[in-house]
Amino acid sequence: MPKIVLVSGSIRRESANTAVIATIRRLIEQRDEQYEITELSLRDFPFFDEDLESAGGTPELLAAHAEVASADALIISSPAYNGYPSGVLKNALDWLSRPAGADRSPLEGLPAAVVSASPGQAGGENVQPHVRQILTNCGAKVIDSEQVAVGNALELRTPEGVITEPAVVSALAGLVDAVTGHIGAAVPQEAAA
């Protein structure tokens, strides 16, 4: 079963980006095809430290690496902090850019899509080129899809922690289509037959 790893770039409880990720999870679960879905917690990534890396990392880090290594695609929802991704997101991507005992980074060659959310009208769209650039620098294959930036996201977040506003759900469904389409396109001919 194809596997999609989801990451919210915010660790706070009532995060708009976590609501976007929860909405994306629902959309994937509602599809006819079945996907394994894993959400990474950025709390599992200590401050990047080459000493800790040399000492073998932590069990949580190794588990996160294994999740990403076995994924067919990655979807990140990023907040904008002064126009750039959160420190916790950049930190996690730095860890994931390393092999962690394998022969290469789990991000290398991994299809990845980016969305952003913020309480502002622009939805933090200016952060997205930076996240895509980091992913590209880490060897991921950024999926070419229409940009989705969820504005007024805290107002749109329901008490259940999802977003139900139809235009946003439809835009996120388009992103999910692009990701699942990419996974489908990546299936070798003999496996698809």
Ligand X SMILES: Cc1cc2nc3c(=O)[nH]c(=O)nc-3n(C[C@H](O)[C@H](O)[C@H](O)COP(=O)(O)O)c2cc1C
Q: Which residues make up the interface to ligand X (CB under 6 A)?
A: 10, 12, 15-17, 79-83, 117-120, 124, 154
Rounded to a whole number of angstroms, the minimum distance from the CB of residue 76 to ligand X is 12
Kindly report the CA angle at 113 between 108 and 115, in degrees rounded to 5? 140
117/138 with CB nearer ligand X: 117
Rounded to a whole number of angstroms, the minimum distance from the CB of residue 6 to ligand X is 13
15/23 with CB nearer ligand X: 15
15/105 with CB nearer ligand X: 15
As a whole number of angstroms, the distance between CA 103 and CA 28 comes to 31
Rounded to a whole number of angstroms, the minimum distance from the CB of residue 162 to ligand X is 13
Closest Cα to residue 7, out of 119, 89, 98?
89
As a whole number of angstroms, the distance between CA 84 and CA 126 comes to 8
Rounded to a whole number of angstroms, the minimum distance from the CB of residue 173 to ligand X is 20
